[in-house]
Amino acid sequence: MLRLLTFALLTAGMVQPLAAKTLQFAGHTWTVRDAVSAAPGPNRWAPENAWVDTLGRLHLRISRGADGIWRCAEVKLDTPLGFGTYEFKVDGRVDRFDRNVVFGMFQYPDPATGPDFTHEIDIEFSRWGSDTPYPAYWTVYPTTTAVSETSHAFAPVLEGDYSTHRFHRSRDAVRFQMLHGHQDGDAHQAHAWTFAPKDAKRRISQAAQPVYINLWLFRGMAPSDDLEVEVVVSDFRFIPAR
């Protein structure tokens, strides 16, 4: 049986290394997180759990070390990106994660843009520690904490091990798509949702923001099946809006 451990170094923030590790993926430089953090989690973020293989694919892993501590992975594209299409091609059954695993592809604000729970745009796969039949979530956070986020939960039904995920971000709307297979077109769409509120300037970020991809454990809980997890992101593409 896995023994749950408590991290003595947890604080409201994080402990950063003196020199951050970077990697090259999809034509961009990404910073790999190396920290112990209270949020999300608590989790230990290990730089060795994110790497790019000889085919140029990004690997993210949740692993258990010899010390019994589970380690997660996150990469950040530091260059802020604005309106346009964000596309992620993924290998692996994102609809079949253990209930304590979270996989995210999202934009998140730097402190100068806004506080937590604002400006964020999420594609997430998780059961959030429960047996919910809806393991997929698309969420848009507003520009102010005075307004609640809007989320769309659904049960993805994939036809294989490959899928494409997108959000199209404009001033007035965010449109999400999940498609079967790896593709650049709109064939074989599995699910879609458009968020187009009347008060778009309050509910949709107008600011350019970094992109994150991460794989972590909900509330720091070990996978209930006690198995390590690996996700492969074959490609990331950003198409600026005209």
Does residue 8 carry a pLDDT above 60?
A: no
Residues 184-209 have a mean pLDDT of: 96
User: pLDDT tens for residues 22-31?
Assistant: 999 999 999 9
pLDDT band for position 239 (50/70/90)?
very high
Environment class of 172 (CB within 10 Å of its CB; exposed 0-12, middle 13-18, buried 19+):
exposed
Residues 1-6 have a mean pLDDT of: 29
**6, two tokens:** 């408590």
Strand 70-81, strand 43-45: pairing: parallel
d(CA 138, CA 86): 13
User: pLDDT tens for residues 113-133?
Assistant: 999 999 999 999 999 999 999
pLDDT of residue 19: 60
- Global confidence as pTM: 0.91
Domains of the chain: 76-240 (2.60.120.200)
pLDDT of residue 20: 74
d(CA 62, CA 4): 15
User: pLDDT tens for residues 67-105?
Assistant: 999 999 999 998 999 999 999 999 999 999 999 999 999
Asked if 227 and 236 touch (Cβ cutoff 8 Å), the reply is no
pLDDT band for position 17 (50/70/90)?
very low
